[in-house]
Amino acid sequence: MADKPHLNLVIIGHVDHGKSTLVGRILLETGQFPAHMVEKFKEEAKAKGKESFALAWIFDQLKEERERGLTIDVAHKRFDTDKYYFTIIDAPGHRDFVKNMITGTSQADAAILVVAAPEGVMAQTKEHMFLARTLGVKQMIIAINKMDDTKPPYDKNRYEEVKAEVDRLAKSVGYKDEQLQYLPVSAWTGDNVKEKGKLDWWDGDTVLQAVDKFKVPEKPVDLPLRWPVQDVYTIKGVGTVPVGKVECGVLKPGMQLIFKPSMKPGGVVGEAKTIEMHHEQISQALPGDNIGVNVRGISKNDIRRGDVAGPVDNPPTVAKSFTAQIMVLNHPSVITKGYTPVFHCYTAQVACRFEEIQKKLDPKTGAVVEENPDFIKTGDAAIVKIVPTRPMVIEPSKKIPQLGRFAIRDMGQTVAAGICLDVEPA
């Protein structure tokens, strides 16, 4: 398995357009489920008059069975093709998905946007498209789903209409032709997932052929090292060992590291002695590697989760304030100046204050619709000035995208997401 390149794939799209069914179908067609289980679930779903939910059901059942401790732990978020192995970041609702996309280990390398052919583009389709673009997803399959449900069924004209509609949207947020692949599909019947099925007029790729056309993104080794701290341990006979995932750059033993903001003003400096991954010493750590490093010259109380290590000659940027482009996903009322929710950025969680709302943007095109608005609400995009309530590292996403993305959380949910445009250093 390990010799295949790995890609993180996020599945997005409007609620009820068939995301879970498509995920279920992909897992089914790539042999992640024993067929007898599928039959069992289909019968149960049929008995309850919920036949069309059978595939989505497979998921829920597995989840329940897992929660009850039964051991059919199908690799429910992983599948293999001839070329790659994929981890699916399922996007059940905006909120979890945004948080995972930004703070998880799961920065998406590619996306499948599911759009139901009968309905076409809906509000959430637009939000997800803009969000994927904002969060740096550079390649996308648009799966025009429920082709069995058009009038007449498998109607090529309807496919072309919806494709044109989605394409206008994609271009308006800045996607280019070479970043997009369009295809018709019926996740429920399986047409054009692995085999063409009844979509016999279609001469392009199936879903499983299209995902193999994704490219593995280059590892950002040319950027300066940025290594956010997830936890800090003191290990007997070894010393202080911070652990975390390298976001960009390369970490080698012998490097002088500076941790910022750290518990001491101006950061603390130490030397990377040894690097471990999966309990083995390695000669260098690359982006994506989850590592522990024995750092000499730093005590456990000097640093904490959310600090970031970088080279002494190119240290992480601590922000006095920063300008950001955000999208409000889900706020119960309105966001005004002075609002102070928690910003989740890589491993940091810092309360930050909205200092200015500078511009309101059209979330579909990014065009400015209002200067200095009094407030913004769900569905709005905006340029804002943010002041952290305590020191935090954040980088302009043009320079170091891995440390320029954030989710904004309040009341137990993700209320907004965005990218840092510019930093005023502390």
| Digit-coded pLDDT (tens) for 264-293 | 888 999 999 999 988 899 999 998 888 999
Residue range 227-311 in CATH 2.40.30.10? yes
| Residue 74: predicted pLDDT | 40
Angle (CA) 10 12 13, round 5°:
170
User: How many C-beta atoms lie closer than 10 Å to residue 106's C-beta?
Assistant: 17
Work out the average pLDDT over 60-83.
Answer: 60
Quote the CA–CA distance of 417 and 397 in Å, as a whole number.
Answer: 13
| Residue 72: predicted pLDDT | 40
Quote the CA–CA distance of 378 and 392 in Å, as a whole number.
Answer: 26
Query: Domain spanning 6-32+75-211: which superfamily?
Result: P-loop containing nucleotide triphosphate hydrolases (3.40.50.300)
Task: Name the least confident of 36-45, 154-163, 374-383.
Answer: 36-45
Tokens 């829920």 sit at which residue?
60
| Residue 283: predicted pLDDT | 96
CATH 2.40.30.10 residue ranges of the chain are 227-311, 319-425
Query: Domain spanning 319-425: which superfamily?
Result: Translation factors (2.40.30.10)
62 has pLDDT over 60:
no
- What tens digit of pLDDT does each residue of 236-261 get? 888 899 999 899 999 999 999 999 99
Work out the average pLDDT over 134-142.
Answer: 89
Per cent of the chain over pLDDT 70 is: 87
CATH 3.40.50.300 residue ranges of the chain are 6-32+75-211
201 has pLDDT over 80:
yes
Instruction: List beta partners, residue 309.
Output: 227, 259
92 has pLDDT over 60:
no
| Residue 363: predicted pLDDT | 77
Q: Which of 233, 270, 234, 240 is nearest to 255 (CA)?
A: 270
Work out the average pLDDT over 133-160.
Answer: 94
Quote the CA–CA distance of 25 and 193 in Å, as a whole number.
Answer: 8
